[in-house]
A = this chain, B = another copy of it.
């Protein structure tokens, strides 16, 4: 949303010529916003005020819905048909000798989307001389999940506290709400779940619904629907009932009345996101019912209003000795087909929990009768948190491009969540927000790129990570080509770099207890087996890794035969996933020719080296970045280097106890002993609990 003047002089002059005036039709709240965004954007980018006219003129930007535009311009009916409610087109049109640039769509909000896209074209210095751009979202629900508590603590938040100032709502409308809505609309996000999945029932009381309504009023003209998390036991906690059994008539009536009440406050309320019977949250199983019983009860009450239920599949049981990897699929596959039409099951990208690299969840592709919603985590719970520069688009894309083989080759996860694979009319994608009240929204400046990338990919999953990175870099810093080359590389390598120094070769969940900050592969004393890192890496004198083949937990059986075969054979299993599926000998020969221990040493050191390269690259970019932001990122990269060294040293020293092999001489020696690393404590690490 920086609308600095276009620096390319000849391009600027072309832009100025092409957009000599603007003709913006309509008067809704959304169109008024489009008008003012254009006013701010164009005067910034073009360096002068563009007159708003009320009739056609040569070299004009024409903006309006079909109803307005088709009355004065010849645009084929069927072009509009393909756009749906959210798509837009931006076209260069010659009519009656007038050169026009037209932004149009079927709805006011989609016109606004088009306006943001048009401004992006200028910001990123694209040609606008002969435009014929048609854009519509591939996924219907593109939603941020805020794990924000009502006391403004953000679970897994590393950017300050919640931007929702509940106490001063509804009376005080923070400017941030407006800027949040602008930003989301400009990147393609059309929904927001305001509250944490570890939910409080209090948000469903009248005093809070009034606050929710105030936010919904701000967001509505930006096309953003509001959702809430429903605490399953709310009928007990705020309804004075004795049970929350989803088949109990009183409970069903309570939810029906509560939902009717919500719609009085928020007529276009989106629906509920629910975490039930997971990590201590209440749910239908407390009453001997299943997830479908719970979801359907809410869905029935939401249905008359057009609301939906997003029911999370992130469940694993305290009691079950089963590999946690398998539990979600075990629990949900049998329920496929028993959910109401307005229920989506929201599945984390991987079977465990947002690890730096995870194989895709077997539910994708297998659960055919239920629309599945993807849950990505934008906030960096396991990705170095507030001090790590990691561009997540390559990770998101890796998951979306993964092939489930559910309907033969090419059955990618992207197709599943777009709803295409099984022709679901509902489709959705959620990103756990990395937003807080920090000055720059995301704590780490580059966290903004992940919010941006999530939105852009949700709209158009076929965009490449590199293309999105360039868009963001151009809008955030500079269109200079040498800047872009280096900065793009820095971003594109950042995810693999982090995987290398944290969890290379398929290691997973070896982070510090609770806060998940830093390495702690040695932890083995937590109550639940599957909360302990040793559960996941299973290092011993023979080797390391979790055997999920038929000889082990057989989690691989949950995948299609093609996937099972690929990952199940140690010879074909891609090495980045190796230790997810195999318990591998320290002496196992890797593709590089090194044995596993040496490869581990190599990867950890490569990760550290890459952070150092990132530092050098960033230093090269100083001329293109203002001093304050340049310093911020420099300081954080320095912290990241220390953390990378810490990860490498702690993990290698720990695993060396099992491999009984030396760290090859070409690598740096750890600067402390293992006991030192084991002794580190972070009682106030952010985002915890």
- Spell out A's residues near B (CB within 8 Å): 150-152, 160-161, 166-168, 171-173, 175-176, 202, 386-387, 437-439, 628, 632, 635-636, 638-639, 642, 682-686
Docked pose: A684 CA to B628 CA in angstroms: 35
Q: A364: shortest Cβ distance to chain B, in Å?
A: 35
B175, A628: Cβ atoms closer than 8 Å: yes
A282 to B173 Cα, complex, angstroms? 42
Closest to A178 in B: B628
User: A32: shortest Cβ distance to chain B, in Å?
Assistant: 15
Top 8 closest A-B pairs, CB basis?
A171-B639, A150-B684, A151-B684, A161-B161, A172-B635, A167-B686, A160-B437, A171-B635
Cross-interface CB contact of A202 among B386, B628, B684, cutoff 8 Å: B684
- Pick from B161, B175, B439, B635: contact of A176, CB below 8 A: B439
Q: Closest approach, in angstroms, between the C-beta of A167 and any C-beta of chain B?
A: 5
Given contacts A439-B176, A439-B439, contact A386 B684 (CB under 8 A): no
Task: Please give 10 more A-B residue pairs, beta carbons under 8 A apart, in addition to A202-B684, A437-B439.
Answer: A150-B683, A151-B684, A152-B161, A161-B161, A167-B684, A172-B387, A172-B632, A202-B683, A437-B438, A439-B439
Nearest B residue (CB) for A689: B151
Across-interface contacts of A638 in B (CB, < 8 A)? 171
> How far, in angstroms, from A686 to B164 measured CA to CA in the complex?
12
A160-B161, A161-B161 given; A168·B639 CB < 8 A: yes
Contact A386 B167 (CB under 8 A): yes
Which residues of B lie under 8 Å from residue A682 when comparing CB positions? 167
Across the interface, which residues of B come within 8 angstroms of A167, CB to CB? Answer: 386, 682, 684-686
Q: With a CB–CB cut-off of 8 A, which chain B residues contact A642?
A: 171
**Interface contact B635-A173, CB-CB below 8 Å:** yes
Is there an interface contact between B387 and A168, defined as CB atoms closer than 8 Å?
A: yes
A386 touches B685 (CB 8 A): no
Q: Which of A150, A171, A628, A683 has the most CB of B within 10 A?
A: A171
Given the complex, which residues of B lie within 8 Å of A202, measured CB to CB?
683-684
CA–CA, A161 and B167, complex, Å: 14
- Residue on B nearest A639 in the bound complex, by CB: B171
5 contacts between A and B (CB under 8 A): A168-B386, A172-B636, A173-B635, A175-B628, A437-B437
Alpha-carbon distance A167/B444, docked complex (angstroms): 13
Interface centre among A638, A684, A686 (most CB of B within 10 A): A684
Smallest CB separation, A160 vs chain B (Å) = 6
The residue in chain B whose Cβ has the minimal distance to the Cβ of A688 is B151
Task: State in angstroms the CA–CA spacing of A202 and B682 once bound together.
Answer: 10
What CA separation (Å) do A168 and B160 show in the bound complex? 12
The residue of chain B having its C-beta at the shortest distance from the C-beta of A640 within the complex is: B171
User: A551–B627 Cα gap in the complex (Å)?
Assistant: 68
Cβ–Cβ contact A684 & B166, under 8 A? yes
Q: Which residues of B contact A639 (CB under 8 A)?
A: 168, 171-172
Q: Give CA–CA (A202, B632) in the complex, Å.
A: 27
**A86 vs chain B, min Cβ distance (A):** 30
B386 near A686 with CB under 8 A, answer no
Residues in B with CB closer than 8 Å to A173 are 635
Whole-angstrom distance between the alpha carbons of A612 and B599 in the complex? Answer: 73
A272 nearest CB across to chain B (Å): 20
Kindly provide the distance from the CB of A397 to the nearest chain B CB, expressed in whole angstroms. 29
Q: Nearest-CB distance from A302 to chain B (Å)?
A: 26
On chain B, the residues within 8 Å of A437 by CB distance are 160-161, 437-439
How many angstroms from the CA of A463 to the CA of B685 in the assembled complex?
A: 44
- Cα distance, A175 to B684, chains bound together (Å): 22
Note all chain B residues with C-beta closer than 8 A to A150.
Answer: 683-684
Candidate in A168, A387, A635 with the most chain B CB atoms within 10 angstroms: A168
**In the complex the two chains form, what is the Cα distance from A167 to B636 in whole Å?**
12
Smallest Cβ distance from A213 to chain B, in angstroms? 16
Q: Which residue of B lies closest to A636 (CB)?
A: B172
Cα distance A160–B386 in the bound complex, in angstroms: 18
Residue in contact with A160 in the complex, picked from B160, B175, B684, B686, CB distance below 8 Å = B160
Q: Which residue of B lies closest to A208 (CB)?
A: B684
Chain B residues whose C-beta falls within 8 Å of the C-beta of A683 in the assembled complex: 150, 202
Count chain B CB atoms within 10 A of each CB in A173, A387, A682, A686 and give the residue with the most: A686
Q: CA separation between A687 and B628, bound complex, in Å?
A: 31
A173–B638 Cα gap in the complex (Å)? 12
What's the Cα separation between A172 and B635 when bound, in Å?
5
Alpha-carbon distance A152/B161, docked complex (angstroms): 9
Residues of B within 8 A of A175 (CB): 439, 628, 632
Residue of B nearest to A150 (CB): B684
A108 to chain B, nearest CB (A): 24
List the B side residues contacting A438 at CB < 8 Å: 437
* Chain B nearest CB, measured from A554 CB (Å): 41
Chain B min CB distance to A194 (Å): 14
Minimum distance in angstroms from A264 CB to a CB of chain B: 20
Residues in chain B near residue A172, CB distance under 8 A? 387, 632, 635-636, 639
Closest residue of chain B to A387 (Cβ to Cβ) is B168
Min Cβ gap A633→B in Å is 10
Most buried by B among A152, A161, A635, A636: A161
Q: Closest residue of chain B to A641, judged by CB? A: B171
A176 to chain B: closest residue by CB = B439
A267 CB to closest chain B CB (Å) equals: 23
- A172, closest chain B residue (CB): B635
User: Closest Cβ of chain B: how far from A685's Cβ, in Å?
Assistant: 6
CA of A683 to CA of B683, assembled, Å: 25
- In the complex, which of the residues A172, A438, A639, A682 has the most CB atoms of chain B within 10 Å of its own CB atom? A172
Closest to A683 in B: B202
Q: How far is the CA of A628 from the CA of B166 in the complex (A)?
A: 20
A635 and B168 CA atoms in complex are apart in Å by 10
A530 and B151 CA atoms in complex are apart in Å by 27
A506 to B439, CA, bound (A): 41
Rounded to whole angstroms, the CA-CA distance of A639 and B172 in the bound complex is: 8
Residues of B within 8 A of A161 (CB): 152, 160-161, 437
CA distance A288 to B152 in the complex (A): 41
Q: Counting chain B CB atoms within 10 Å of each CB, which of A167, A202, A386, A439 scores highest?
A: A167
- A238–B168 Cα distance when bound, in Å, is 39
- A152 to B685 Cα, complex, angstroms: 10
